[in-house]
Chains A and B, each alone.
Chain A
């Protein structure tokens, strides 16, 4: 009797261990889920209602911007990640951390129209300059290795305008994102690798 109990115990423990390993193997279930499980939440989050915009011109521009936003995948970096994938309730609220040696640590910005922490603080022209030239409102250049502005700079000015109009009409989220910090608190930003100039001479 005792022997049987012992064997049952061993089998149960083995099953639990194997089950746990199988769970580890299959989580996250990238291969098991249908492909729509990834594209649908994104599409739903982008398709926030623009119907309540009263001005028909603004609405039309915002819809164009919405489409550009949907395929440009800004939310890949600008939507905060929770434990279960992107936190779609805080769409475009920013906060992803990028550590680039030699460039410092930067965080994706809050793109929602929040007055204190979001894009409302920036003028249209400043937002467009970031998308066009990778230059922030304070004149700081940032490398295209994090935010791919060199691609967005190929956009026509009219599409860029539509995109900015769209960003002005999404749901505001209060989410303070830390400022960019250089390599350490006392050392500032370097715009290209330290040995870049050396490399050029060769």
Chain B
């Protein structure tokens, strides 16, 4: 059975590879119409499905830690369009998004990899996820002649910025920290925030005055950003777009020595003023939730389990360790820990009860490099993580004989010892000792990390 399975795998994979390398890279000229959806499907499943999901629901294996989340195609709501508010995007819009990516998100520029006919077929396939594309037609807007960038245009744009109360969300300085812009949620109930208008390199739909004008006129569907068509005149929107262009600050890669020093000092001051925001940034970039979460058997993080722990590491012969619950829950999480205890745990590897962590897989030895302010920021953020009640079993350590025998195998017999990571089952067996729950030992998800054995030329 296993052999059959593997043979199947190989066959499918070989087929996929042939098709993809033939189409995605060289894009031959003629093809049958009937095979086109299949081609688009294949490219989609290889390149897009890891984030957007096989069924286009935006729930691929890589989706859970991304921010913003990958688009859910099944709702038929698209953010970056050149069509009226609430309307479908044109093929050109989708092409532009795929070609140049969405800046400030994980969507890369696919232009070097998906070209020509392949691109068209992927777009056709993406459009099959939502029934809206069968019923509706995109209603493109007509962009009138631009108001050129000038001091007077910027000045009147500033008035429009005040008139439309942009500052409520984007802030008077455009930094995206307006009073209203807290706990924003988008159409798909994911966290979203007001864009920082001073950083044009993060503008998803482009940073030219025309791009900004189109955003203002069409709105960003699915988010709190509405369309301003009708609210102000066309000329006023152009002026506002020019004003937004004028708000841009210098990016770090163009700064000179002094500017860079001031910039980093400013970042530090901001971090001190708002430690929760800084802690959130650190926790997200370090990726605490990558291990401190529960996984389904197909290696996807279970929605809502982020930071509540539950991934099992089988570190033979040291025992089985389950990642802890980092949420602010009093019973099972960090709610009753003091700040010092939390900091000691993630920088020195000593638990609340004095138990010492192994130097792996928890990277406390590296987190010791965090500055004092940043450590405090992480603690401040962890305090604000909504409580999830999830009891984590204590480490399941082997008895002394098994332990010494394991060491003997490792050090004397030099056996290669795999280090599997088990995704814990979602079922209600989480309170059982880990030894009774070897979920996945026979599965195909074991990750084998083999560090000692290196191949040298």
Minimum distance in angstroms from B158 CB to a CB of chain A: 26
Kindly report which residue of chain A lies nearest to residue B454, judged by CB atoms.
Answer: A95
Interface string of B110-138 (1 = CB under 8 A from A): 00111000000000000000000000000
Q: How far is the CA of A38 from the CA of B368 in the complex (A)?
A: 10
From the candidates B113, B114, B255, B356, name the one contacting A30 in the complex (CB within 8 A): B356
Chain B residues within an 8 Å CB radius of A61:
252-253, 260
Stretch of B58-66, B163-171, B425-433 with 4 or more beta carbons under 8 angstroms from chain A = B58-66
Chain A residues within an 8 Å CB radius of B232:
none
A27 interface residue per 8 A CB criterion: yes
- Interfacial residues, chain A to chain B (CB-CB below 8 A): 21, 24-25, 27, 30-31, 35, 38-39, 42-43, 46, 56-57, 60-61, 64, 67-68, 70-73, 75-76, 80-81, 83, 95-102, 107, 129, 132-135, 139, 141, 143-146, 148-159, 161-162, 175-176, 178, 182-184, 186-197, 199-200
Chain A residues within an 8 Å CB radius of B114:
139
Minimum distance in angstroms from A46 CB to a CB of chain B: 7
From the candidates A60, A76, A107, A193, name the one contacting B298 in the complex (CB within 8 A): A193
From the candidates B12, B60, B65, B368, name the one contacting A190 in the complex (CB within 8 A): B12
Interface residues of B in 44-63 (CB under 8 A from A): 45-47, 49-50, 53-55, 60-62
Check B363–A189 contact: CB distance below 8 A: no
Check B9–A190 contact: CB distance below 8 A: yes
Chain B residues within an 8 Å CB radius of A162:
252
Q: How far is the CA of A155 from the CA of B201 in the complex (A)?
A: 14
B108 interface residue per 8 A CB criterion: yes
B162 interface residue per 8 A CB criterion: no
B141 interface residue per 8 A CB criterion: no
Check B449–A157 contact: CB distance below 8 A: no
Chain A residues within an 8 Å CB radius of B113:
135, 139
Check B252–A148 contact: CB distance below 8 A: no
Check B284–A73 contact: CB distance below 8 A: no
Kindly report which residue of chain A lies nearest to residue B455, judged by CB atoms.
Answer: A178
Interface size of B by CB at 8 A reads: 98
Minimum distance in angstroms from B65 CB to a CB of chain A: 4
Q: How far is the CA of A176 from the CA of B455 in the complex (A)?
A: 9
From the candidates B54, B67, B369, B455, name the one contacting A43 in the complex (CB within 8 A): B369
Minimum distance in angstroms from B25 CB to a CB of chain A: 8
Minimum distance in angstroms from A190 CB to a CB of chain B: 5
Check B369–A39 contact: CB distance below 8 A: yes
Chain A residues within an 8 Å CB radius of B103:
157
B247 interface residue per 8 A CB criterion: no
Chain B residues within an 8 Å CB radius of A135:
108, 113
B251 interface residue per 8 A CB criterion: yes
Minimum distance in angstroms from B139 CB to a CB of chain A: 31
B146 interface residue per 8 A CB criterion: no
Most buried by B among A21, A161, A183, A192: A192
Check B253–A158 contact: CB distance below 8 A: yes
Minimum distance in angstroms from B363 CB to a CB of chain A: 4
Interface string of B437-450 (1 = CB under 8 A from A): 00000001111111
B302 interface residue per 8 A CB criterion: no
Check A154–B400 contact: CB distance below 8 A: no
Minimum distance in angstroms from A71 CB to a CB of chain B: 5
B457 interface residue per 8 A CB criterion: yes
Kindly report which residue of chain A lies nearest to residue B290, judged by CB atoms.
Answer: A148
Most buried by A among B55, B285, B363, B407: B285
Chain A residues within an 8 Å CB radius of B64:
150
Minimum distance in angstroms from B285 CB to a CB of chain A: 5
Interface residues of B in 1-36 (CB under 8 A from A): 5-6, 8-10, 12-14, 16-17, 24-25
Check B62–A134 contact: CB distance below 8 A: yes
Q: How far is the CA of A158 from the CA of B49 in the complex (A)?
A: 28
The 5 A-B pairs of least Cβ separation, nearest first, read A151-B287, A188-B17, A139-B113, A73-B366, A133-B108
Minimum distance in angstroms from A150 CB to a CB of chain B: 4
From the candidates B66, B400, B411, name the one contacting A150 in the complex (CB within 8 A): B66
Q: How far is the CA of A105 from the CA of B66 in the complex (A)?
A: 25
Minimum distance in angstroms from B45 CB to a CB of chain A: 8
Chain B residues within an 8 Å CB radius of A178:
455
6 pairs, CB–CB < 8 Å, chain A vs chain B: A96-B451, A100-B447, A107-B455, A190-B16, A192-B45, A199-B298
Check A95–B455 contact: CB distance below 8 A: yes
Check B201–A157 contact: CB distance below 8 A: yes
Most buried by B among A71, A101, A145: A71
Interface residues of B in 314-365 (CB under 8 A from A): 347-350, 356, 358-360, 363-365
From the candidates A132, A145, A148, A191, name the one contacting B447 in the complex (CB within 8 A): A145
B408 interface residue per 8 A CB criterion: yes
Q: How far is the CA of A39 from the CA of B368 in the complex (A)?
A: 6
B256 interface residue per 8 A CB criterion: yes
Check A152–B287 contact: CB distance below 8 A: yes
Check B404–A187 contact: CB distance below 8 A: no
From the candidates B55, B108, B350, B455, name the one contacting A129 in the complex (CB within 8 A): B108
Minimum distance in angstroms from B425 CB to a CB of chain A: 14
Say whether, besides A21-B404, A97-B454, A39 and B365 are in contact (CB < 8 Å): yes
Check B14–A200 contact: CB distance below 8 A: no
A151-B289, A191-B46 given. 18 additional CB < 8 A pairs?
A25-B400, A38-B364, A38-B365, A39-B347, A39-B365, A39-B368, A71-B374, A96-B454, A97-B450, A97-B453, A97-B455, A98-B448, A157-B103, A158-B252, A189-B17, A191-B49, A192-B60, A196-B54
From the candidates B53, B256, B284, B447, name the one contacting A57 in the complex (CB within 8 A): B256
